[in-house]
């Protein structure tokens, strides 16, 4: 492993989802171990890495606009730092980018990011005294929560989604590397591990089933909980598809104390015709039965979902059916997104594309219902006492206040708990009684 140190600082800019945050953390760890420092702004940086998102056309536009803005900022700096564009935009549009973005010194696809040290060496003119070895990966996460990527890519090819074309076919990460990273993060003060991937429920299905070790998500969760004990760590699972909710997984969530009774299942829709057009399976009856079972078999089950509004051909009756379904299930949290026609996907070429005014109207109706259900779910916790992880400080109406999150709140998604004390430390786990709520937020009093 390289032990050289260079007077060269890197600015990291990350756009998009939590998976990109993990990828940036990984590149930062590689470059830090290879001797590079970190800059806080473009003007003082020697090189800038922007990790881009291209899930939607709007995300692609934001990535390009941010890159051009960074190019202006670095040109005003002392060093006029080269820009390296990483992630989804190069993966999706790589061959077209050099001509379109001459401001960028290098482009790095998602599957090339492990080679980031060589790329930065080249664009900065860094010369090493010996043969550079790939440094060991020790992610350093500032804060109490760490996203832990257990897989990448996707084999579903939903007709609206470009992810398989950006990140490739589904591949599970090895259990050994997951355990190693998890233990390192927990040793560094992380109190919650959030498992993410494009399709977490099928983790391990692509492994050689004759090789010893966990081969299902349920087995992985059990062994992960054992690996981080005796530390009091929460384990949360996001991005499960309905088919991934096996009997084994339901039992594991119910019976493993470290695994939170919180599930994120993005249904997208409930009507079988729309699901079929999306190249997804299931029906309203099957989905409703699944959520009823989860709440019946797992005490205090919290459920998050996603509704993709105004998919091509969606009728008013199907909108009503989906809203009725949301209301009957009573989702704790629902993310609502209007359909976006993405270049290269089948849905982009479908007839009966829905006009923007109708998209806006349908999306707002869904958001209104989602907020009504979510606000009520949040208010239902008033009067309860629960453990809360202290995450940091925010500026409140009466000055700085500590904020944290409870087990039923996914970090960065579901609101926060505002605490009545100021002398706790980030990472503390406090016993808190919830005394009030507003929207998705809770107010808590620490119980001695």
* Full domain range(s) for residue 97: 9-124
Domain membership flag for residue 42: yes
Same domain, 412 and 349: no
Q: How many CB atoms lie within 10 A of CB 277?
A: 20
Grouped pLDDT means (10 residues each) for the chain, 448 residues: 70 92 91 90 91 91 94 76 94 89 94 92 84 59 90 94 92 94 92 95 91 92 95 94 95 97 97 98 96 96 98 98 98 97 94 97 98 98 97 80 95 92 88 97 94
Tell me, what CATH number does 34's domain have?
3.40.50.12160
Same domain, 194 and 308: yes
Domain membership flag for residue 344: yes
Same domain, 326 and 360: yes
Same domain, 420 and 348: no
Structural domain count of the chain: 3
Same domain, 56 and 189: no
Same domain, 186 and 84: no
What is the model's pLDDT at position 303? 98
Same domain, 374 and 402: no
Same domain, 322 and 436: no
Identify any residues that bridge with 148 across adjacent strands, giving them in sequence order. 195
What is the model's pLDDT at position 130? 62
Same domain, 159 and 294: yes
Residue ending a domain, choose from 322, 351, 379: 379
Same domain, 57 and 173: no
Q: What does pTM read for this prediction?
A: 0.89
Tell me, what CATH number does 393's domain have?
2.40.50.140
The token pair that represents 275 in the structure block: 């699901």
């Amino acid at each position: 492993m390289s032990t050289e140190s260079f007077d060269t600082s890197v600015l990291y800019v990350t756009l998009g989802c939590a998976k990109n945050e993990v990828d940036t953390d990984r590149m930062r760890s590689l470059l830090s171990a290879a001797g590079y420092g970190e800059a806080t702004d473009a003007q003082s940086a020697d090189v800038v890495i922007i990790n881009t998102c291209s899930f939607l056309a709007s995300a692609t536009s934001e990535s390009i606009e941010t890159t051009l803005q960074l190019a202006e900022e670095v040109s005003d700096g002392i060093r006029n730092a080269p820009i390296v564009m990483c992630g989804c935009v190069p993966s999706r549009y790589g061959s077209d980018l050099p001509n379109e973005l001459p401001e960028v010194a290098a482009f790095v696809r998602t599957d090339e990011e492990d080679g980031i040290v060589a790329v930065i060496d080249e664009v900065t003119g860094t010369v090493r005294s010996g043969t550079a070895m790939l440094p060991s990966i020790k992610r350093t996460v500032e804060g109490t929560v760490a996203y832990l990527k257990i897989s990448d890519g996707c084999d579903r090819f939903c007709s609206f989604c470009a992810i398989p074309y950006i990140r490739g076919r589904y591949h599970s990460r090895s259990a050994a590397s997951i355990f190693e990273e998890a233990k390192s993060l927990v040793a560094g003060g992380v109190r919650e591990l959030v498992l993410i991937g494009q399709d977490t429920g099928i983790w391990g299905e692509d492994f050689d089933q004759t090789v010893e070790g966990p081969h299902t998500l349920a087995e992985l969760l059990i062994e992960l909980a054992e690996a981080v004990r005796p530390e009091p760590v929460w384990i949360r699972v996001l991005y499960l598809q309905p088919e991934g909710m096996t009997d084994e997984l339901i039992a594991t969530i119910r019976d493993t104390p470290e695994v939170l009774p919180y599930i994120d299942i993005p249904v997208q829709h409930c009507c079988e015709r729309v699901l079929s057009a999306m190249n997804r399976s299931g029906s309203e009856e099957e989905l409703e039965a699944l959520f009823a079972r989860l709440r019946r078999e797992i005490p205090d089950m919290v459920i998050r979902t996603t509704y993709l509004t105004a998919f091509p051909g969606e009728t008013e009756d199907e909108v009503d059916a989906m809203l009725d379904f949301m209301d009957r299930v009573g989702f704790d949290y629902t993310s609502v997104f209007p359909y976006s026609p993405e270049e290269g996907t089948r849905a982009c070429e479908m007839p009966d594309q829905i006009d923007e005014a109708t998209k806006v109207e349908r999306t707002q109706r869904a958001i209104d219902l989602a907020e009504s259900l979510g606000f009520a779910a949040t208010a239902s916790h008033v009067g309860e006492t629960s453990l809360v992880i202290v995450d940091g400080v925010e500026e409140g109406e009466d000055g700085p206040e500590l904020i944290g999150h409870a087990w039923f709140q996914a970090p960065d998604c579901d609101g926060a708990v505002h605490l009545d004390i100021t002398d706790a430390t980030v990472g503390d786990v406090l016993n808190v009684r919830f005394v009030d709520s507003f929207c998705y937020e809770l107010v808590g009093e620490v119980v001695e």
